Amino acid sequence: MTTATEALTAAPHPLAGKRMTGAEMVVQVLADEGVDTIFGYSGGAILPTYDAVFRHNEELRDADGQLPMPLIVPANEQGAGFMAAGYARATGRVGVCMVTSGPGATNTVTPVRDCLADSVPIVVICGQVPTHVIGTDAFQEAPVSAIMGSVAKHVFLVTDATRLESTVRTAFEIARSGRPGPVVIDIPKDVQNAIGEFRGTGLLPIKSYRQRVQDVADNALSASAAKAFFQFLGESRRPLLYVGGGVINGGAAPALRRFAERYQVPVATTLMGIGAIDTTSPLSLHMLGMHGTAYANYAVDDCDLLIAVGARFDDRVATDPGSFAPKARKIVHLDVDASEVGKVRNADWYHVGLLARDLDMLTSWGERHNVRTDTSAWLAELQANKDRYALNYDRDSELIQPNFVVEEINKHAKGEAIISTGVGQHQMWAAQYMDFREPRLWLTSGSMGTMGFGLPAAVGAQFAHPERLVIDIDGDASIRMNLGELETVTTYKLPIKIVVLNNFGDGMVRQWQKLFYKGRLSGSDKSLHRKDFVKAAQADGFEYAARLDRKADVPRVVEEFVNFDGPAFLEVIIDQDAGVYPMVGPGLSYDQMITGDFIPNRHEPDEGEEPDGSSMF
């Protein structure tokens, strides 16, 4: 596909030579980059660009009144950042957030770091005080470059108006190329107001960065590398694909599926890799790791060849790196980022390149050389494990079990809805019990684990895909972080479905405290019973806002909720003691996995030393 940048360099821009303000140039570059939605909150230092957006939209408004680049206003700037992230995660395109200086910019620090941690491409455009007062503690001044430098993929402070146009264009290039990530542009107000000639082309000279990206793009698999790979695969009887979010970010899910199906290799995904393979496929083992399925984790323990693709052996998966995949005679690793190779586990074979291309090259090489694999016995063993160690919970309890609620939602979503979540127990139940037929349907904060992510991310996803069913599965503690965005949903008449699994506190923290801190519920059992979520939703304009507290009503109410024509809010009062299982404690191996009371465990309970209070959360 031809990018906007490539199109601009191929022919003169129709507006080349026109006199514009810096703010108008910013908006024109956004239009050239295909931006169709901006999420942001206004303020004094960004007003010139907001005005330019307004005038651009009025000039190009169509006959039906539709705006080419609507500006979506959230409750606060953190919400805007997560909306841009939800848009980007759901589409693979660059999300855009536009905020003012000072607190406007600092409120976006968390979404920027969240996007860097999960490799999500967004561009954050911040207003800044005029250049001549930078450093004087002017009103609403913040040192954005210093603050954002360690949490963004790149930060630009534009003090030369003649470089503004090329800077904005370059920001998009950096955000989406290589390993995607967030780019921040800090633009002083006088630079926004400066008048100059629009060129319609040009990028900043970031030669070393482009060279690194090009080196990865040029690093195609050699015939000898493919031969070595298939030698390992040919010697294996129990191969396993360990797939991370890099497959989603790299648009490599179709290539991964072709490879897995052609050579009948089972697939376990990380939290961020969910959707890389259809979870209803016989080859899918669902999620592995700390709260992965027991049968996925047992597959890791039993495999003799581990094929890591777009994954980084992080602490939620390789909880004890030394014991991860203990029977694997070989570990191979494909990634787009060389820094991830060998960072946690050494690989016997690795390749740094474009995942979609490289997976297809492997598939083609194997077909050309008539490679045959027989994993039938391995797959039969895995299927038996899936049957024996299936996810389960207390189905006879009189209290509403959250697993039951998510199962009912899944019946209506059918693996085709976009699901966003906050962070906590509800996030893990959604990851475990929801199906995903395609990539980019699962939106969650992985590495950062940011509470409050789910609701604004759902807003961004709904703007990206107005035709899709979008459901935010949230928790009472997590949704509080950005509860103000309920009004954003109704203001823009978004048909998002929001379900809050309410256990009156920080459920995941409580679970850890019960397991590892002798039940001392310090600060987690807040007993925040005063919040009436239903009244809050009604106050924000939800016509459907209901509370569900009877188990017998779950199927009927969930159906009403999902099928409601418009925004819908559902609070479910769940069993406060419901836990997320399986669970692998921090620093423990998979053979020490806790499966709870309702999932069989093939190992005797470990009587060894438990993690202490110093263990990583």
* Token reading at 125: 């455009």
3-class DSSP state of 135: coil
* Token reading at 317: 């998966």
Catalytic residues: 77, 139-140, 189, 508
Report the C-alpha gap between 537 and 569 in whole angstroms: 7
Report the C-alpha gap between 324 and 317 in whole angstroms: 8
The answer for residues whose C-beta is within 8 angstroms of residue 54's C-beta and 6 or more apart is 71
Q: Which residue has the tokens 């581990």?
A: 306
Closest CA to 510 of 527, 496, 522: 522
* Token reading at 558: 């969930």
The answer for residues whose C-beta is within 8 angstroms of residue 361's C-beta and 6 or more apart is 220, 221, 226
The answer for residues whose C-beta is within 8 angstroms of residue 517's C-beta and 6 or more apart is 613
* 442-443, strands of its sheet edge to edge: 442-443, 418-421, 470-475, 497-502, 568-573, 544-548
Beta bridge partners of 608: none
For the CA atoms of 4, 6, 11, 12, the dihedral, rounded to the nearest 10 degrees, stands at: 60
Report the C-alpha gap between 310 and 363 in whole angstroms: 17
C-beta of residue 184 within 8 angstroms of C-beta of residue 126:
yes
Burial class of residue 280, CB neighbours in 10 A (0-12, 13-18, 19+): exposed
Report the C-alpha gap between 177 and 474 in whole angstroms: 32
C-beta of residue 294 within 8 angstroms of C-beta of residue 316:
no
Beta bridge partners of 443: 420
Length of the chain: 617
Strands 284-287 and 305-309, by their bridges, are unpaired
C-beta of residue 488 within 8 angstroms of C-beta of residue 72:
yes
Strands 19-21 and 195-197, by their bridges, are antiparallel
Return the axis-axis angle of helices 77-91 and 109-118, rounded to nearest 10°.
20
Q: Which residue has the tokens 């199962």?
A: 407
Report the C-alpha gap between 199 and 13 in whole angstroms: 8
